[in-house]
Amino acid sequence: MSASAIHSAEDARRIAKRRLPWMVFDYIDGAAGRETGAARNRAALDEITLRPRILRDVSSRSLAATLFGAATQRPFGIAPMGMCNLSAPGADLMLARLAARYAVPHGVSTVASTPLEKIIEVAEGHAWFQLYFTGDGTGTFKLVDRAKAAGYQTLVLTVDVPEVGRRPRELRHGFKMPFKIGPKQFVDFALHPRWSLNALLKGKPTMANFEMPGYEFDRTESRARATWDTLNKLREMWPGKLVVKGVLDVEDALTLKAAGVDGIQVSSHGARQLESAPVPIEMLAKIREQIGADYPLFFDSGIRSGEDVLRALTQGADFVFLGRILQYALAAGHERGLHKLWDVISEEMSIAMAQTGLTSPKDITGLR
């Protein structure tokens, strides 16, 4: 029933808010500070208009795209998100199956609830490993070696979290990773029995990638030691594609290109880290203008619809990643909900392409 009620990302969010414990929903939904950054991001996307064109044969349309030379069935994929199994038991593997079905990358978070080896297996190779540099790097480089051994071809270094941003909504609920349950959380869970019973049957989510000898993950541990030398070391040790995520500055983007990075992901981490960060969609256009037409440039942050995907592509993105809206869908209707929202986003984009005279994402470069 819940999956069939999803006709937009907002529908999925509304159902998820009702079903999830407050602590979990606000962890997924929240942003930094007073959340004015998230509001600015949304307002900026809403300000972008598309150019309607008429009397063009758009009866046959395709959403297929190309990413690092490989064919994908959509110009959008799955952004790395931590602890997805909080939204629904088994969510990591639901996302992996979606990635396999549509040949799009599943961004596997450092703090995923499922081992990185299992996710890439279920995703049939359609997975990128997202990396946080933490502490002195000991655990970080172990994870890089594991990703390489598991067959990952693309490594995504996230650089916009030198310290974890303050998100008051999750702090008020006492949200912590690893997951801990106190009196306040117990009451919260008791008032959301469907989620709680599922979690009890499946077991509370853990950060599975850190269950290795000699290493424990501490979410509060500083990630501030990462430098350009760290990037150079990763470039030397990683034979595949290296993407840097969390870029919002033109000068940084140009330096990354010169350093041999294969692609850049423009992102504000969904406005979850720095409330006063510049608007990502505006920086996307500026970075594209300076970095050149052919350099791989990706985008995430605030995408809520297929029209938003099209907006980002017209502003310079080669590929777009969806984040928390997929967790809303998982919470609202588990795997059926996920596929329903994916179909909604696809249909929204296809209709928007028809309205603007486009038959393929490849046509969009002509609109920039």
| Helix and strand numbers, DSSP H then E, in the chain | 14, 10
* H or E segment and range at residue 40: helix 36-47
Specify the 3-state DSSP secondary structure of 177. Answer: coil
> Which is it for strands 70-72 and 65-67: parallel, antiparallel or unpaired?
antiparallel
**In the annotation, is 7 catalytic?**
no
Query: 317 has which bridge partners?
Result: none
- Residue 68 in 3-state DSSP? coil
What's the CA gap between 156 and 243, in Å, rounded?
A: 5
**Burial group, residue 137, by CB count within 10 angstroms (0-12, 13-18, 19+):** middle
Spatial distance between the Cα atoms of 339 and 36, rounded to a whole number of angstroms: 31
Contacts of 138 (CB under 8 A, 6+ apart): 215
Whole-number Cα distances in Å, 228 to 59, 186, 250: 49, 44, 16
Residue 304 C-alpha from the chain's centroid: 12
Active-site option among 106, 269, 334, 339: 269
Q: What angle do CA 310, 314, 319 make, to 5 degrees?
A: 65
**75: helix, strand or coil:** coil
Q: Known catalytic residues?
A: 269
